[in-house]
Amino acid sequence: MERDSATSLTLGQAALIAGLGLLVMTLSAPYAEFYVFPKVLLPDDIDGTVTNLIAHRGLYVSGLAAFFLNYVADVVVAWALFVFLSPVNRQLSMLAALFRLLYTALGISALMNLFSVVRLLDLPQYTSQVSSGQINVQLQLLLDAYRIEWGVALILFGVHLVLVGFLLVRSGYVPRLLGYLVALAGLGYIVYMIGLYAFPAISFALVTITFLLEPVFMVWLLWKGRQLER
């Protein structure tokens, strides 16, 4: 059984670790982004957002924790996919891992804005000296900064997926169709996020369908990928 000399992992073990990491991300990020944040953060109503933050503090913090767990899993997945794809092209696999790590770093930086929102509301010595209007403006700036930084991070994530898809197509031990699907998902992220900022008048909502292609890769890693031994 051939093993990578640096990691002592088989391809199957690397696939299993990557698959489990992606599973954690599949559960944690949607919980925060599609369940918690819509209940608390109201894009066009900062006063309502403040009210929600005070009333649903525990729920909001659970969303932040879920996103932080998501980024921890991202680091693990970046390493596991590097091992999994190194036999194809070690340098390109490393580049793909670096793009995912850059995405993770920028994502955590964006998330710090949301932690600062809680911190801002927790400083009575500050809130007692500043008007509620000024506080609301600062909260809005933090929320806007989060969305902008996270959007840029997703472009880097899209580049990572395109590189991973290319390596999967070239691998010979992963179905080529799966590689094309992963690359298509990456292109979806890039087109959607760039289009959102460069062409705001045009709707790119249809492109988000490609995001659903990522779980297909996760299922394959957990089902078939973990059986690889070479």
pLDDT digits (tens, 9 = 90+) for 189-218: 999 888 887 877 666 666 667 778 889 999
On whether the CB atoms of residues 163 and 148 are closer than 8 A, the answer is no
On whether the CB atoms of residues 160 and 179 are closer than 8 A, the answer is no
The residue type at 60: Y
pLDDT in tens, 44-95: 888 888 888 888 999 999 999 999 999 999 999 999 999 999 999 999 999 9
pLDDT in tens, 101-129: 999 999 999 999 999 988 887 765 445 55
On whether the CB atoms of residues 200 and 168 are closer than 8 A, the answer is no
Q: DSSP for 149-216?
A: HHHHHHHHHHHHHHHHHHHHHHHSSS-HHHHHHHHHHHHHHHHHHHHHHH-TTS--GGGGGGGGGHHH
- C-alpha distances (whole Å) from 32 to each of 53, 62, 185, 202 are 14, 8, 21, 27
